[in-house]
Amino acid sequence: MAENQTNDGTVAMTSWQLNGQEVENPTGMTIMEAAKEHGIEIPCFCYHPGLSIAGNCRICMVESNRSRKPVISCSEKIADGLEIETESELAVSSRNSVMEFQLINHPLDCPVCDKAGECTLQDHSYEHGPDRSRFVEDKNIRHTKELGPNISIWGNRCIVCTRCIRFCDEISGTSELCIVERGDRSVVDVFPEIPIDNQLAGNTVDICPVGALISHDFKYEARVWNMDRKDSVCGGCSRGCNVEVETLDGFVKRLMPRENLEVNDWWMCDEGRYGWRHLYADDRLSQATRDGTALADDSATAALEQLLSESGPVAFLIDPFLTCEEMHLVQGLAASRPGSSVGGWLPEDGIAANFPSGFKISAAKYPNRAGAEHIFGDQVFGNDATELQKALVSSDFNTVVAFCGGHLSSGPGESWAKALSSTPTSIIFSVKSGPWLEGASLVLPATAPIEKDGTWINEDGRLQRTRSCWNPGTEPFSVELVRLQTLQNALGIRGRSLSAAGIFRELAANNDSFAGHNHSDLGSPGLLLSERPAGIAMDGGSE
């Protein structure tokens, strides 16, 4: 908003008239954005806050005193003395006519279209369109084809708003898409033999206002109105993109990005978007085992209690997939065992990516390294981890409790697997099976990142709330939260089990980095934690 700054640093305001009322907005705003601030939503197809303005759909036309014809509110800016009518006869009939034109060639296949229920064309047609068509000619047939490995186009449904094309030009910077043909035959296509397979391609499906672009991943999977939605955070990398996890009967069906201008704008990467399939992969653990024999859920908790109550000092191997709340519980356990030690393993780095829009994919493929460093100290993945590994290999500890989370990660490496197997009693929370489970005394199935309830700190130091998408029956918290608290209850260091918010309150009371915050403060953009003040000691056993 640099253009509306005056010399003394205040924001210059423009006063104009909206539906006969005198209103004020910062200079330089478009009519559509300004009207939205006053609670008047002007319909749009081609306008998207994250993209440049194309002004080609014409549904946002309003009546202006500065023009004989209606103007498009997405690109016209407000000005002093401007009088805009959004509900006048001219404005209403313009919208009505534009809707009739949009529907001329649009097929009436809503019952089999995956976009139905969240389709802008349906919504605007219902609200602003005519209830019948005067079009008696044959409808155009346009191509239906695969544009890339994950995306297909149903050309008949396309209204040529060019949102997807602008996305590929401006946000991902890959420019795979273009419009072919002319007039009412124009349709989105790719260049020959150059499919759309950039790392952000999935977003084009989200921003398509109609069902023209369809993701293969979600095709025919569910009707959108039947799904439940949870506001979650993607655990695929340290950016922590805000996502909405959509489930049908408890099973994840798709991930959609959630607007957070501080982190991911409106977008997310395909790796995170399609990564949920790993939740249901064959190597996912669902059964607790003790020395190779399957255990029921209750007896697994009992076995955990028994193993830990008999043990002396315990080594805790954490991972950067644990939430801050779970880490706080681990810290409490470590503090109750004098001589215990905490270290962490890190998954291998992946490939980072930067996009022209400023969207980033981090090389650190885990969500909560910063959280672990706030709770256990800066060296938890550094010196502490190296020493812990040495101690484990030389069997200094009798018991180790390890967390091997992350459904997208390849798990702790060989050296850690060796360290774990050389400890006599190893208790391992693991999301999937792998070589690190060899010789484990007790294996407990763990929750994957998007199944966790709690908070993570991303690489910018932003504390974000993630909610569990997983609702098996009545279990309100994620598994580790429950198990660790039950364990603490049994060991006598906790009176009663709390929700994630309750644990966070405890954490905030004990740790200066989180002091004064609670879950309800986090809101949707999250909270930027100030740098951890130097010299804060851990209030617990590992030192």
Partner 1 sequence: MANHSDASEEKLERKTATTEPREKATYAVPVAKGLINTLKHILRNEPNTIHYPDEKRTPYPGYRGEHRLKRDELGREKCVACFMCSTACPAHCIEIVAEEAPWDDREKRPRLFNIDMMRCIYCGMCEEACPCDAIELTPVFNIPARTRAEKIYDKDKLLSL
Applying CB under 8 A, the residues found at the interface with partner 1 are 109, 111-112, 219-221, 223, 225-226
Q: Where are the alpha helices (DSSP H) in 288-436?
A: 297-310, 324-336, 369-376, 383-393, 414-421
In this complex, which beta carbon is closest to partner 1, that of residue 221 or of residue 506?
221
The answer to whether 424 and 291 have CB atoms below 8 angstroms apart is no
In the sheet where 61-64 sits, what is the strand order?
21-26, 13-18, 83-85, 61-64, 71-72
Please, how many CA atoms are within 13 Å of residue 74, restricted to the half-sphere of its CB? 19
Find the shortest distance in angstroms from Cβ 206 to partner 1: 21
The tokens describing 135, both together, are 């079009």
Give the helix/strand (H/E) hosting 128: helix 120-128
Find the shortest distance in angstroms from Cβ 394 to partner 1: 55
The answer to whether 213 and 190 have CB atoms below 8 angstroms apart is no
Q: What CA–CA distance (Å, rounded) separates 139 from 109?
A: 13
The tokens describing 284, both together, are 């996912």
Residue 97: which of 134, 66, 68 has the closest Cα?
134
Find the shortest distance in angstroms from Cβ 112 to partner 1: 5
In this complex, which beta carbon is closest to partner 1, that of residue 227 or of residue 503?
227
Find the shortest distance in angstroms from Cβ 375 to partner 1: 44
Find the shortest distance in angstroms from Cβ 208 to partner 1: 17
DSSP 226-242: G-EEEEEE--SSTT--E
Find the shortest distance in angstroms from Cβ 221 to partner 1: 8
In this complex, which beta carbon is closest to partner 1, that of residue 47 or of residue 154?
154
Find the shortest distance in angstroms from Cβ 249 to partner 1: 10
The answer to whether 154 and 216 have CB atoms below 8 angstroms apart is no
In this complex, which beta carbon is closest to partner 1, that of residue 157 or of residue 328?
157
Find the shortest distance in angstroms from Cβ 133 to partner 1: 17
Q: What CA–CA distance (Å, rounded) separates 17 from 184?
A: 37
Find the shortest distance in angstroms from Cβ 156 to partner 1: 11
In this complex, which beta carbon is closest to partner 1, that of residue 112 or of residue 534?
112
Q: What CA–CA distance (Å, rounded) separates 202 from 537?
A: 44
Instruction: Report how far apart, in Å, the C-alpha atoms of 358 and of each of 172, 225, 263, 353 are.
Output: 9, 33, 10, 10
The answer to whether 28 and 38 have CB atoms below 8 angstroms apart is no
In this complex, which beta carbon is closest to partner 1, that of residue 153 or of residue 361?
153
In this complex, which beta carbon is closest to partner 1, that of residue 223 or of residue 278?
223
In this complex, which beta carbon is closest to partner 1, that of residue 107 or of residue 439?
107
The answer to whether 103 and 129 have CB atoms below 8 angstroms apart is yes
In this complex, which beta carbon is closest to partner 1, that of residue 2 or of residue 112?
112
